A and B are shown apart, each in its own frame.
Chain A
Amino acid sequence: MFSNDIVLTVIVTTLLILLLIAGVIITMVLANRRHVQQEVKMAQMQVDYEKELRTVENEVQEQVLTNVARELHDNIGQLLTLVRIQLEQEKLDDEVLAKKLAPVDSTLTDTIEQVRLLSHNLNTEYLESKGLAYAIEKEVNRLSGMKKFKVHWDYDGKEPGFDKGRRILVFRMLQEVLNNAMKHAVAKNIYITLNSTSGFRLEIRDDGRGFDKEKVFSDGKGSGLQNMVKRAKLADIRFEVESTPGKGSIFTFSES
Chain B
Amino acid sequence: MPIHQYLSFIVKIIAILLGIIYWNKFSTPYKLLTIQCCIVFLVEAWGKYLNATTGQNNVIIFNGYSLIELWLLGYIGLELISIKFKKFFVYALVLLTIFWIYSYSVYGPEQFFNWYFVLQCFFLLILYTIVLITKAMFNRKVLWKQPLFLLCVSLILYYACTIPLFGTINYLVQSNMKMAARLFYISHAINILRYTLVALAFYLYARQAKRAYVQQ
Residue numbers of A with Cβ under 8 A of B are 2-4, 6-7, 9-11, 13-14, 17-18, 20-21, 25, 28-29, 31-33, 35-36, 39
Contacts and interface: CB of A to CB of B under 8 A. Distances in A.
A10 B165 contact: yes
Given A4-B179, A9-B164, A32-B138, 5 more contacts: A2-B175, A10-B186, A14-B162, A21-B161, A33-B142
A32 B175 CA distance: 46
Contact of B137 (A7, A20, A21, A31): A31
Contact of B172 (A7, A28, A29, A31): A7
B82 interface: no
Q: How large is the interface on B (under 10, 10 to 19, 20 to 34, 35 or more residues)?
A: 20 to 34
10 contacts: A3-B179, A7-B172, A10-B164, A14-B162, A14-B186, A17-B160, A20-B160, A28-B143, A32-B139, A36-B141
Interface of B: 132, 137-144, 153, 156-157, 160-165, 168, 171-172, 175-176, 179, 183, 186
Nearest to A15: B161
Nearest to B175: A3
B34 to A, nearest CB: 24
A13 B156 CA distance: 15
A21 B140 contact: no
Contacts of A7: 172, 176, 179, 183
Contacts of B186: 10-11, 14
A2 B175 CA distance: 9
Contacts of A14: 161-162, 164-165, 186
B161 A29 contact: no
Contacts of A18: 157, 160-161
B140 to A, nearest CB: 5
Contacts of A39: 140
B176 A3 contact: yes
Contacts, number: 61
Given A10-B165, A14-B164, A29-B144, A35 B157 contact: no
Nearest to B153: A25
Contacts of A10: 164-165, 168, 172, 183, 186
Contacts of B137: 28, 31-32
Nearest to A6: B168
Nearest to B138: A35
Nearest to A35: B138
B177 to A, nearest CB: 10
A21 B157 contact: yes
Contacts of A17: 160-161, 163-164
B106 to A, nearest CB: 23
Contacts of B153: 21, 25
B163 A6 contact: no
A140 B163 CA distance: 79
A29 B139 CA distance: 11
A31 B136 CA distance: 12
A3 B180 CA distance: 10
B142 A36 contact: yes
A58 B61 CA distance: 73
A18 B162 CA distance: 10
Most buried by B among A4, A20, A32, A36: A32
Contacts of B132: 28
A4 B168 CA distance: 12
A162 to B, nearest CB: 30
Contacts of A6: 168, 171-172, 175
Nearest to A20: B160
B156 A21 contact: yes
A35 B144 CA distance: 14
B179 to A, nearest CB: 5
A13 B153 CA distance: 18
Contacts of A21: 153, 156-157, 160-161
